[in-house]
Amino acid sequence: MAEESCAGCHKNIDPFGFVLESYDQIGRWRTHSPPLRTFKKYKEALGLPVESAGKLADRTKLEDITDLKKYLREDIAPFAECISEKLLTYATGRSMNCSDHKLVRDVVKDVPRGRIPRSGDSSSEFRELLDTVELFALLYFRVILRLS
């Protein structure tokens, strides 16, 4: 990451953010950032090229999303635990407390090294959590869209 000011914040609050820069806000692939100003005359104007390479706090160099996947697969348990906490926070509408951390550990205990369980895997509480939150979000947004 060339901009030191960007790298300084990403190091602390979003260390993987630079690797995901190639995706826009709704997950579409992009090679350039949006232009700082948009002129009707120049609708196809491109911003600066996306810089998706960077270094994590442990000095691991990541060039792109493929490197991030490899890094996470080396030890998937911390990632599974973190995503479980975030999904449970989203699903319950509150932060996790001390007693919730046992639930999170129980959910991720069956996550095998190097892969996320797939739908249909038996005894996968983590996969069940992912499927439940996905279903909840689908139903929630359908209701919201009908009401608006």
pLDDT tens, residue by residue, 9-19: 666 666 677 78
| 60, 88: one domain | no
Return mean pLDDT, the chain. Answer: 74
Count: domains in the chain: 2
| 83, 99: one domain | yes
Output the six-digit token pair for 35. 């232009």
Which pLDDT score, from 0 to 100, does residue 137 have?
A: 66
Amino acid (one-letter) located at 105 = R
Report d(CA 129, CA 105) in Å as an integer. Answer: 13
- Asked whether the beta carbons of 71 and 60 are under 8 A apart, the reply is yes
Which pLDDT score, from 0 to 100, does residue 77 have?
A: 78
User: Which of 12, 20, 134, 129 has its CA nearest to residue 69?
Assistant: 20
| 67, 13: one domain | yes
Asked which of 27, 54, 73 is the last residue of a domain, the reply is: 73
Structural domain boundaries, residue 50 = 4-73
Asked which of 73, 90, 113 is the last residue of a domain, the reply is: 73
| 59, 11: one domain | yes
| 67, 104: one domain | no
Which pLDDT score, from 0 to 100, does residue 80 have?
A: 80
| 14, 27: one domain | yes
| 66, 80: one domain | no
| 102, 139: one domain | yes
Asked which of 40, 56, 73 is the last residue of a domain, the reply is: 73
| 47, 98: one domain | no
| 17, 80: one domain | no
| 107, 137: one domain | yes
pTM for the whole structure: 0.56
| 107, 58: one domain | no
Buried/exposed code over 64-80 (b: 16+ C-beta within 10 A; e: otherwise) = ebebbeebeeeebeebb
* pLDDT: which is higher, 33 or 112: 33
Amino acid (one-letter) located at 123 = S
pLDDT-derived band at 39, boundaries 50, 70, 90 = low
**What 3-state class would DSSP assign to 126?**
helix
